[in-house]
Homo-oligomer: A and B are copies of this chain.
Amino acid sequence: MAERGGGPRPGGRSARVQAAVHRAARDLLARMDRAEVTIPLIAAEAGVTPSTIYRRWGELNELLADVAVERLRPDMVPVETGHGRGDLLAWAEQYAEEMSSGLGREMIRDVLAAEGGTGPRRCCSYARQQIALIAERAAARGEAFPSLDAVLDGVLAPILFRILFDEALGPARVGELVERVFEGDRRVDDP
């Protein structure tokens, strides 16, 4: 029913409609309150009929989650500072800042609100890839670097947890978390 993701074939009609709908949704989210955005509105903006959207996405949450996951995909490689700890710190600080914004928070919530669990998984995997890349670079330089799970649980988890349930962490606290994940037992086993 859902058929999220890149679409069936690149270049087909299906892909064009999906692109138009995504763009329309992004535009509307940018210029009006999230609660006022409806499927008929997006359809009108995209130049398609509502039933097309209902058939492809099923409900507003699925569509918005789809759009949010797309926007959450990292668009650049993590900056290189010369050592793994600096790379991770820079990445974590930028990540925390982006996600702490009003728009960032809304996108995360949209992703979580969708039915199928694939959206959150994809977001997690995006972060995983970025961290793995930093870890690889560190390993190539012969540095010790914490395991992927340690970084996920020790840095990413607190950042997202605080954004969702409490108050977003500031850069100072993010720095502490990065420091802490480098302390103690370093498991370099994970590539």
Binding site for B on A (CB under 8 A): 35, 109, 112-113, 115, 120-121, 123-124, 152-154, 156-158, 160-162, 164-166, 177, 180, 183-184
Contacts and interface: CB of A to CB of B under 8 A. Distances in A.
B153 A123 contact: no
A165 B120 CA distance: 5
Contacts of A112: 109, 112-113, 164
Per assembly, the copies of the chain total 2
Contacts of A120: 164-166
A169 to B, nearest CB: 8
Contact of A153 (B113, B152, B177): B177
Given A153-B177, A184-B180, A165 B113 contact: no
